[in-house]
Amino acid sequence: MQNLILASSSPRRKELLENLRLSFTISSSEVDESFDPALSPEDIVMDLAERKAQVIFKENPSSFVIGSDTIVVADGQVLGKPIDEKDAIGMLKVLSGRKHEVYTGVSILSPNGTARFYERTEVWFWELTDEEIKSYVQSGEPLDKAGAYGIQQLGSMLVKKINGDYFAVVGLPSARTYRELKRLGYQLS
């Protein structure tokens, strides 16, 4: 019996994997999420996704383990999760009225080999007033999310259009993940 483990504490990633009707368990551990800002965005998300998957794979070498990481990049500036409300306000001001990119890296480790890939999605925000930013931050939604917004919830009101994989913005490029699991020989029901 093949075992699938999602190496993540993100409720969004859990939901996206559940959509694929796969049975899996969740096991996440504290991974140091600091990164070298000189790295390219794709290297940052791939490196972090790999670190998250490695920790769990080391303990479960006969399982298929999925690690993932998401960052927002605006004009070369990397935005992770805000540290507090003030930081969230600053990030949303940067994103207001312009385009940014969301990078999500995925690392799948398994006894049959590995799959590593990332998705880059372009997102355009409406111009936001200070009042709109303040009230959105007060909703509490931005604090555990890269770039200080969640496209799938109240943050949907900030978004004008996107180009690329919507699900990668939410935290996991699910279709590609499904395909890579299949390629690695994971038995999909």
Ligand X SMILES: Cc1cn([C@H]2C[C@H](O)[C@@H](COP(=O)(O)OP(=O)(O)OP(=O)(O)O)O2)c(=O)[nH]c1=O
Q: Pick the catalytic residue from 32, 36, 69, 75.
A: 69
Give least dist CB 21 to ligand X, A: 21
Give least dist CB 112 to ligand X, A: 23
Q: CB neighbours of 41 closer than 8 A, spacing ≥ 6?
A: 71, 73, 78, 101, 103, 120
Give least dist CB 54 to ligand X, A: 13
Phi, psi of 178 (to 5 degrees): -60, -45
Give least dist CB 80 to ligand X, A: 7
3-state secondary structure of 188: coil
CA 153 to chain centre: 15
Question: Measured between alpha carbons, how far is 185 from 173 in angstroms, rounded to an integer?
Answer: 19
The smaller minimum CB distance to ligand X, of residues 41 and 147, is found at 147
SS (H, E, C) 98-154: CEEEEEEEEEEEECCEEEEEEEEEEEEECCCCHHHHHHHHHCCHHHHCHHHCCCCCH
The smaller minimum CB distance to ligand X, of residues 46 and 170, is found at 170
By CB under 6 A, name the binding residues for ligand X.
Answer: 8-10, 12-13, 28, 33, 52, 68-70, 72, 81, 102, 144-147, 149-152, 155, 169-171
3-state secondary structure of 47: helix
The smaller minimum CB distance to ligand X, of residues 3 and 152, is found at 152
Give least dist CB 104 to ligand X, A: 7
Query: Is residue 3 a contact partner of residue 23, using CB atoms and an 8 Å limit?
Result: no
Q: Is 69 a catalytic residue?
A: yes
The smaller minimum CB distance to ligand X, of residues 52 and 176, is found at 52
The smaller minimum CB distance to ligand X, of residues 166 and 178, is found at 166
Query: Is residue 86 a contact partner of residue 142, using CB atoms and an 8 Å limit?
Result: no
Cα angle 56, 22, 175; round to 5: 90
Catalytic residues: 69
